[in-house]
Structure 1
Amino acid sequence: MDFTECYGDTVSSVAVAARSGCRKRVRRLMKRGFSADCRDNRGWNALHEAAAAGSEECVQEILSAARGSPRGCAADVNSVTHGGESACYLAAQRGHLAVLRLLLKAHANINQLTHDLSCPLYAAVDGGHKQVVELLVSQGAEVDRTHTACCWTCLHQSVYKGHSEIVRILVDVCNLEALDDHKISPVFVAAQYGQQQCLEILVNAGASVSAQAADLATPLLIASQEGHQACVDFLLDHGADPNLACSREWPQLPIHAAAEFGHIGVLRRLIAVTDRVCDRGDGMVSPLYLAVYSHQSKSVEMLLKEGYSPDAQVRSRILGGRSPLSLALSRTSIDPCSESVRLLVAAGATLSEEDWIHALANVKTDLLQLILEHRWIPRQETLTRDCPVPTHHGKSVLKLQELRELLCVALNQVHFAVCWLPLLLKAGLEPSLLLQPRMLEQADSEVLNYLLEFVNWSNLSLPLKHILDGRRAEKTWEPRPHLDSIPCLSHICRLQVRSVLGPDLLMRTNVVQQLPVPAPLHVFLQFRDIPEATDTHSPPS
């Protein structure tokens, strides 16, 4: 405990005089028989007070008196407080150079440790007292002893505090690769706390830029994590390896740290020098996962812009994500259309069954609209062969597997069809793909009517007609009046136009405006005259 208040009933008169720097009063009191060795409740005596106050004259007076005492000077000059602090330590801690010279001349123990394992040199380093450090080093102070609970050396502490001039002194006499209890070197400390000047001094003196800590973290990793751009640049320029694995648990690289913490400048530099095997390599983890996990959309944007795959590794064992998009959706359940999700969808991220569930099993259609904004639904014939087209009208085309999973999820989420059905049909999905028993058995009456408007309802297969007949008998489906009749010729014609042009082009482009037909027919040909189904039964939440 640090007692800093003067307690009158325990502090000696000599100590009070020494604290005030009054040499004459100190001398007068000692001649009258007052002791300089009397201690207060901190264990401080007059010499401690004089040394801490930087009173050269009082120290000299007390030491002169001690030389005449039977015990001799050495016993007094090395006496310690209850915290183990000697007068030498207190003078060094406060930067009192002249006092320190007197104490060393009186044979003060230059390496005496306090109870918390500090020493005069460590205290001077911590306080940034350059001249005191120079004196102690020149007088043979131990420079590589470990101090504090974490076993830092004086070099560690000088770097941490950013005392570059003291670092210049110590690099000539200290072990540059000294390690603390976590095997952290002074270079690591400089990189961690952004002490660029200290880092340069250490490396130029020969310290290693790639020394790994106990957990395999490197100076480059920690500088990237903390966003110290100048330190990152210096380390890379001096041989730090950006592809050295920095974790025992997974192949973590500095680029992962930069992406996770959103340090864009650092990330840009690391992208240029990091092996791209981390993006798609087996057993690796794309930095995109870390950027998504920590909601660093700027990192996501930069990685995608620089060519990192929006799909990365499938089912990464780190963070539990099936893909970056699945991870992004799981991290933003309240707002599925987060910026990271938008970026990944726009970049053509592969949509899994899990992703389609997020889009379709919801009364909110924001995510589905986002997907359809950037993805093109292929024509029905692509279901029979896997011949992906990279882009269509500037949009990525849904792959065969993506389309199959879309249909599978849609048919399993019929209760939400009132939300997703109009969007999919207007985006060019072939409606016949949804004419499945599950759809006809479970769809709401109005949803079913809306779907039938996009097909030739008179040509349904017998099994499907039986389902409709059953629902009509059970009064769970009330068809619109014209659905009981044979489709009119105009409807048959527009179905034929849709078939020839393709539902994707008809519904999503201006191709209908180019047809040699009157403008009022454009709405009819694009099925925009059909009223959407109303939400008569709210989908389950």
Structure 2
Amino acid sequence: MDVFASAYPDACSSIGAASRAGNSQVLHELLMKGLDYTIKDNRGWYPMHEAAFGGHIECVKILLETAMSDCESTREILDCVFPPAFDGETPLSIASSEGHVEVVKHLMSLYKESELGIDKMGYPLHESCKNGHNKCIEILVDEFPMHVNMKDSRSGDYPIHVIVEKENIQATKFLIQNGADVNVQDSDDLKTPLHVAVSIENEEIVKLLINEVKDVNATDITDCTPLYLAAQNGNENIVRLLLNKGADPLKCMYIDHMGLKSFPLTVAAEKGHFPVVKLLAKITPKDCCISAVILSAFNRHNDCLLYLFRKGYSTFHSDIKIAGESVWDILLGHNNGFESFSSTVKILIENDTLFSDLARREEHLYFKYFILPMRFNDVNIVVLNEFLNAGLLELRFNCETFPNLSYSISGHKVLQDRLILNSRYPHYLRNLSKISLCLRYFPFLSISHNSSLPLVVANVDDLLHGILVQNVPSLVDLTRWVIRCYIIKVKGLICSKHITCLNLPRKLEDFLLQC
């Protein structure tokens, strides 16, 4: 327990106990007996602190009268008789914090006459703002108007920051009317009151402040504007208010954890706030916000991703790097456990997102004989299927990264023995399922129980016990393979629009699209 946070019963004097209880008669009798009223407890609280905390106005008056008769000046009273407690609390700040109006009124003149700084007074206005005591706020501002724009050195906040954070609309209006500077920034984060109002999504307070601020595009310590925060929260109404007042959708260029430049549109897409994405996409230049596309895909916000593509935003390049990794590696690594990511992959591919960098990778040990590059070891079957439909194998063939078929066949038996030994482990079975899927797309290899009878479709059991053979593909399969290889060579991948433009019958289109 913090020795300065809670009162110890045995650390309180008799006069302190009487003041805490509000027993003015006992307090008067103890003082008449000459007991010391300047004994503090473990927190540094004097009897006057106790009386102020409880709002015991009669006890406050008795203690103050006694002190005035014993001291030569009000400054001596405040410096020696009722000084701040260990954490800076004064009787006035305590009464302000608790909302004891009569005690505040009685003590204000004492502090004003002594001309103490606000820190020596314990920041009474800030304390009233923290706890929403509007009447105390009003009388303190009337008595100490200069406190309206004074910073609390403990927290770095101004009264306007505190009252906005508490969503006290009435007091916010009062402070603004009495000269509160709505453009001030706190010491820690450099946030303006408008930043605070937007963060807590209080539309009424945003309306109050937005008409008073000089710069709606002011940035905090992380370069975030109020518009960025509103987009992050997905608050469409506040975003509209800020845009109508001239908020710049490109002003904020906060560099996020992925090393991307992040604009209001970016963070709205990252969070999946579709209405805000629609609003900002209309006014954000399309050549500077590739991060919105990437983060929509990263978090599988397919509605946002589709909308951005429909509005003309470009996709990312296959070889682009973020923090040293390719975008595809980041996307696949983050989403390897989500089958729903296959829909995201399909949207990316349909909008010409190439993946040639992935196709050129070297094979993983367990895929080396079966065509797939290392990256796809961690990809689930549904996602892998989208890449195969888009021409992963044909792309590797065109890039001359295809494995040697005879080498694959000769090495199959060794690999097969290893897989049989370890087939009780689920991750090996996942690998076998992927190999099985891949062989269904590739016309030159198949699994057979004897070399003369290749199987039409390989399954996991076939892979464990069958023989890998090179076969002569049918004319239909070979024709499809050649056409797909040609499309890959021209377009870089295969998607529906590349097939549709050939004006083929629907069944043929499906045949070419799905291998």
TM over 0.5: yes
Check conservation: 1:220, 1:232, Cα contact below 8 A: yes
User: Aligned ranges for residues 459-478 of structure 1 at < 5 Å?
Assistant: none
| Residues 216, 242 of structure 2: 8 Å contact kept | yes
Partners of 1:317 and 1:193 lie apart in 2 by 35
- Relative to structure 1, the CA distance from residue 169 to residue 269 in structure 2 (aligned partners, 3 Å threshold; closer, same or farther) is same
Write the distance in 2 (CA, Å) between the matches of 1:149 and 1:50. Answer: 25
Superposition deviation, residue 166 in structure 1: 1.8
1:261 to 264, 271, 290: 271
Deviation of 1:253 after TM superposition, in Å, equals 0.8
Matched residue, 1:303: 308
Residue 273 of structure 1 aligns to a residue whose secondary structure is coil
Structure-2 separation of matches of 1:175 and 1:269: 31
Match of 1:370 in 2: 386
- What is the alpha-carbon distance in structure 2 between the residues aligned to residue 369 and residue 447 of structure 1? 28
Work out whether 1:24 is the aligned partner of 2:25.
Answer: yes
**Does the CA-based 8 Å contact 1:184-1:213 persist in structure 2?**
yes
Residue number among 190, 202, 213 corresponding to 1:206 in the alignment: 213
Confirm whether residue 90 of structure 1 aligns to residue 101 of structure 2: no
Question: 1:160 maps to what in 2?
Answer: 165
- The two structures, once aligned, show a CA RMSD in angstroms of 4.2
- Distance in 2 between residues matched to 1:197 and 1:83, nearest whole Å: 35
Is residue 218–residue 246 contact of structure 1 (8 Å, CA) maintained in 2? Answer: no
- What is the match of residue 123 of structure 1? 127
1:328 partnered with 2:340: no
Deviations 1:155-184 (A, max 9, x none): 122222222222212224122221223332
| Aligned-partner Cα distance in 1 for 2:311–2:165 | 35
Alpha carbons 1:329, 1:341 under 8 Å: kept: no
CA distance in 1, matches of 2:162, 2:448: 76
Distance, in Å, in 1 between the alignment partners of 2:288 and 2:316 is 9
CA–CA separation in structure 1 for the residues paired with 2:447 and 2:26: 102
Once the two structures are TM-superposed, the CA of residue 90 in structure 1 deviates from its matched residue by 0.7
Note the 1:131-530 alignment, pairs <5 A: 131-140=135-144, 141-149=146-154, 151-172=156-177, 173-181=179-187, 182-247=189-254, 251-279=261-289, 285-297=290-302, 299-304=304-309, 306-309=311-314, 311-320=315-324, 322-323=326-327, 325-334=328-337, 338=341, 339-355=343-359, 360-361=372-373, 366-371=382-387, 375=390, 403-407=394-398, 408-411=400-403, 414=408, 419=436, 422-424=439-441, 495=475, 510=507
Alignment of 1:28-43 (within 5 A): 28-43=29-44
Q: Residues 18, 370 of structure 1: CA spacing in aligned structure 2 closer, same or farther, 3 A cutoff?
A: same
Q: Secondary structure at the match of 1:344?
A: helix
CA distance in 2, matches of 1:447, 1:353: 37
- CA shift, 1:74, in A, is 4.1
Unaligned runs of 5+ residues in structure 1 are: 280-284, 378-397, 426-430, 454-475, 484-490, 513-525, 527-541
Judge conservation of contact 1:18–1:49 (CA < 8 Å) in 2.
Answer: yes
Q: Find the residue that maps to 1:258 and give its secondary structure.
A: helix
1:86-119 CA distance string (max 9 Å, x none) = 111111111111111100123456865559x951
What count of residue pairs does the alignment treat as equivalent? 433
Q: Which amino acid aligns with 1:176?
A: V
**Partners of 1:201 and 1:479 in 2: how far apart?**
76
Change (3 A) 1:367 1:360: farther
Give how far 1:185 is off: 1.6
The answer to whether the Cα contact below 8 Å between 2:317 and 2:353 also exists between their aligned partners in 1 is no
Structure 1, residues 194-218: CA drift from partner, whole Å, max 9, x if none?
Answer: 2322222111223421011233221
TM-score (norm 2): 0.71
Mapped partners of 1:246, 1:294: distance in 2: 20
1:539 aligns with: none
Q: Does the aligned pair in 2 maintain the 1:36–1:46 contact within 8 Å?
A: yes
Q: Structure 2 CA distance, aligned partners of 1:13 and 1:34?
A: 8
Cα deviation, 1:487-536, whole Å, max 9, x if unaligned, reads xxxx9xx849986999789x996469xxxxxxxxxxxxx9xxxxxxxxxx
The alignment partner of 2:322 has SS state of coil
- TM superposition score normalised by structure 1: 0.68
SS at match of 1:242: coil
User: 1:50 deviation in Å?
Assistant: 1.0
Distance change >3 Å, CA 342–CA 404, structure 1 → 2 = closer
Q: Counterparts in 2 of 1:525-536, with a 5 A limit?
A: none
Question: One-letter code of the match for 2:26?
Answer: R
Identity of matched residues, %: 22
Aligned equivalent of 1:384: none
- Report which of the two structures shows the higher radius of gyration computed on alpha carbons: 1
Return the offset for 1:5.
Answer: 4.9
1:101 aligns with 2:102: no
State the shift of 1:419 in Å: 3.1
Does the CA contact (< 8 Å) of 1:221 and 1:246 recur in 2? no
Decide whether aligned partners of structure 1 residues 450 and 149 sit closer, same or farther in structure 2, where only a CA change above 3 A counts: farther
Q: Could you tell me how far 1:276 is from its partner in structure 2?
A: 1.3
Q: What residue in structure 2 maps to residue 9 of structure 1?
A: 10
